[in-house]
Structure 1
């Protein structure tokens, strides 16, 4: 009997998006934005301890990615790095 807990279904796509060698596509960004929106609405414990500057930085990153989708522009390296940093905070700490 293994005491390893099953991986939650959201972790696999989230871990894939965090891989720097994986290029983000529109569908990935849409999925991630929806996932973030749901986590915030559910008052995700992963973000409850963040201070105000971190939350504002996450909001700015979220808004930038949403605007990129509206204008159908690919994210820059800096925008992708910001997005991946924000997403990494949604994974459980090992």
Structure 2
């Protein structure tokens, strides 16, 4: 069965598992994965998820800058090579709130 990151699942637990898989350096990162992650972040922000609403303004702006950097990278580069994937994964980590 082929993995489709853009398909929405009914299970709320599937999303964090998918995100953990995308952040795993052993997982081959694809363009569709990054698009899924950007959509996931956008959805969490729109829902007012607690991990986002509790952030102070400077941290929120820093996360947004990384989010925008991810999106711009996808616009500029149509494909992902190994080095791009590593850079995108690091940007993705920096676009997510941490405990």
Instruction: Specify the structure having the higher radius of gyration (Cα).
Output: 1
> Among residues 52, 55, 58, which one is paired with 2:60 in the alignment?
55
1:15-64 CA distances to partner (integer Å, 9 max, x unpaired)? 10121232422001000000111111101111111111111111010101
Q: C-alpha displacement at 1:71, in angstroms?
A: 1.2
Of the structure 1 ranges 71-80 and 8-17, higher mean CA displacement relative to structure 2 is found in 71-80
Partner residue of 2:20 out of 15, 19, 22: 15
Q: How many pairs are equivalent?
A: 85
Equivalent of 1:26 in 28, 31, 43: 31
Aligned-pair Cα RMSD in Å: 2.4
The gaps in structure 2 that reach 5 residues or longer are 1-10
For the structure 1 residues 76 and 27, does the alpha-carbon distance in structure 2 shift closer, same or farther, using more than 3 Å as the test?
closer
SS of aligned partner of 1:87 = coil
Cα gap change, 1:77 to 1:9, in 2 (>3 Å): closer
What TM-score results when the alignment is normalised by the length of structure 1?
0.73
